[in-house]
Amino acid sequence: MTEAERVAAWLQDAGQVHRDLVPSAQTIIEAAARMTGALRAGRKVIWFGNGGSATQSQHMAAEFVGRFVRERRALPSIALTENIASLTAIANDYRYDLVFVRQLEGLSQRGDVAVGLSTSGQSGNVVGGLRRARELGVYAIGLTGAACPPAFREACDLCLAVPTRETARIQEAHLTIGHILCGLVDDALASDARPA
């Protein structure tokens, strides 16, 4: 296989995973509606994950606080991976499984939305964070892949599993889902601002 053929195959595979997500459109719409409702009520959207999912969490929080496409007010959103002092202190003083739990306990409010990303669905700190979010009255959304174990799904109010087991494809789809969520929330909040 030539390099050009390999690149073409890669792109076709990524495109197929996105096409396979189309049946999940209603789940994405529901997630966006939960976020919109929370933001309308003066609450926030909280993101968290490990590795690539950590940086995707920061990316999505930045889209809300800064802007996505349209000019609008800054929206309250944070990623629990932004504060390295909190991450390392909690991991050192307690254990790594609690790095998101402790931050949710200190930073979340009832009515917030929390989004936990885990490509495998097996990240103990993400599962624990989603579970604790629900206990705190925070709506818990999980983004994962096809290998999603029952513990991850059960920790969520809403779970969206990308239909592949390939980490890179799952991460690419999570980014797309995040951008769709930003766009749907922007559109909904923009309609609030239009004169009647």
Spell out the per-residue pLDDT of the chain, length 196, in tens: 899 999 999 999 999 999 999 999 999 999 999 999 999 999 999 999 999 999 999 999 999 999 998 889 999 999 999 999 999 999 999 999 999 999 999 999 999 999 999 999 999 999 999 999 999 999 999 999 999 999 999 999 999 999 999 999 999 999 999 999 999 999 999 877 655 5
Q: Is residue 134 part of a domain?
A: yes
Does residue 48 belong to any structural domain of this protein?
yes
Residue 160 lies in a domain: yes
3-state secondary structure the chain: CCHHHHHHHHHHHHHHHHHHCHHHHHHHHHHHHHHHHHHHCCCCEEEEECCHHHHHHHHHHHHHHCCCCCCCCCCCEEECCCCHHHHHHHHHHCCHHHHHHHHHHHHCCCCCEEEEECCCCCCHHHHHHHHHHHHCCCEEEEEEECCCCHHHHHHCCEEEEECCCCHHHHHHHHHHHHHHHHHHHHHHHHHHHCCC
Position 140 scores a pLDDT of 98
Please tell me the pTM assigned to this model.
0.94
Domain that residue 61 falls in: 3-191
As for how many domains the chain has, the answer is 1
Give the pLDDT score at 194. 57
**For position 84, which CATH number holds?**
3.40.50.10490
On whether residue 154 sits in a domain, the answer given is yes
Domain membership of residue 196 (yes or no) is no
